[in-house]
Amino acid sequence: MGKSNIIYYLLACLFLSGGCIQKEATNHHSQHKTNWQTVLQDKLPLLGHRNWIVITDMAYPLQTREGITTLYANEPYTEVLGTVKKMVDNSLHVYAHIYQDEELSFLEEGFCPGINDLKTEMGNVLPATEITSIRHDDLIARLDSISNLFEVVIIKTKLTKPYTSTFFELDCKYWDSNKQTILNQRIANTGTTQLKTARGRLFQPKHITLISLLKHYSSD
């Protein structure tokens, strides 16, 4: 084999190996990019009333509690936010009470550059009417308490802005507090009726016995 052929052979090998490496890296990136969505989509039918899904910034701490599942999303924060909201909205069994840090509303461009644009983007995904603002520490305390009994799914993003976490507290879509109130009233009313009936049965024999005694002595 001549030198020119050897050179061409080596160049061809380098070209092919480079393409394989690039393809493998692309596939790995694509798998990493969609993995959190796959996990959440598979887990969502198992989640229900009192479970939480939280989308966080980059500095959110990794927690060791068994009731907390932490995923990482490489997409932009607002894209992840929109995807999670769509998943929850399209589910048949749950909807979400949505919370954000109260501190977010006090952040300004002067000491947190880029926050105004982020707020605008977040508002395009989540209308302000759907959000309840609560102090960050209070939300974290609620998560800590909830995760003792119910699973929490945390999706970390590469966002580097503080107090930008969004909390989805899941609730039953086919049952609400108004229906529960009606049900509780019916149960309470049924219990009262049964109690009155039981009391009537309890005192009825004594009442009959007393009347019988009065009739007996009056006849004498």
Q: Is residue 24 part of a domain?
A: no
Same domain, 171 and 90: yes
Query: Can you say how many angstroms the Cα of residue 11 is from the centroid of all Cα atoms in its chain?
Result: 53
Q: What is the DSSP letter of 94?
A: E
Mean pLDDT of 106-114: 96
pTM for the full model?
0.72
Separation of alpha carbons 52 and 166, rounded Å? 10
Banded model confidence at residue 64, pLDDT cuts 50, 70, 90: confident
Contact 152, 52 (CB under 8 A): yes
Banded model confidence at residue 26, pLDDT cuts 50, 70, 90: very low
132, β-bridge pairs: 99
Same domain, 143 and 191: no
Same domain, 117 and 184: no
Banded model confidence at residue 207, pLDDT cuts 50, 70, 90: low
Range of the domain at 103: 40-175
Same domain, 121 and 156: yes
Q: Is residue 132 part of a domain?
A: yes
Separation of alpha carbons 54 and 142, rounded Å? 12
Contact 153, 47 (CB under 8 A): yes
Same domain, 57 and 147: yes
Number of structural domains the chain divides into: 2
Q: Identify the residue with better confidence: 193 or 202.
A: 193
Same domain, 109 and 147: yes
Banded model confidence at residue 66, pLDDT cuts 50, 70, 90: confident
pLDDT at 76 over 70: yes
Q: Identify the residue with better confidence: 100 or 11.
A: 100
Contact 161, 118 (CB under 8 A): yes
pLDDT at 31 over 60: no
Same domain, 210 and 159: no
Residue with tokens 């990493």: 32
Mean pLDDT of 115-144: 96
High-pLDDT (> 90) share of the chain, %? 66
Same domain, 143 and 217: no
3-state secondary structure 127-185: CHHHEEEECHHHHHHHHHHHCCCCCEEEEECCCCCCCCCEEEEEEECCCCHHHHHHHHH
Residues 163-201 have pLDDT tens digits of 999 999 999 999 988 999 999 999 999 876 665 666 666
Mean pLDDT of 49-74: 94
pLDDT at 135 over 70: yes
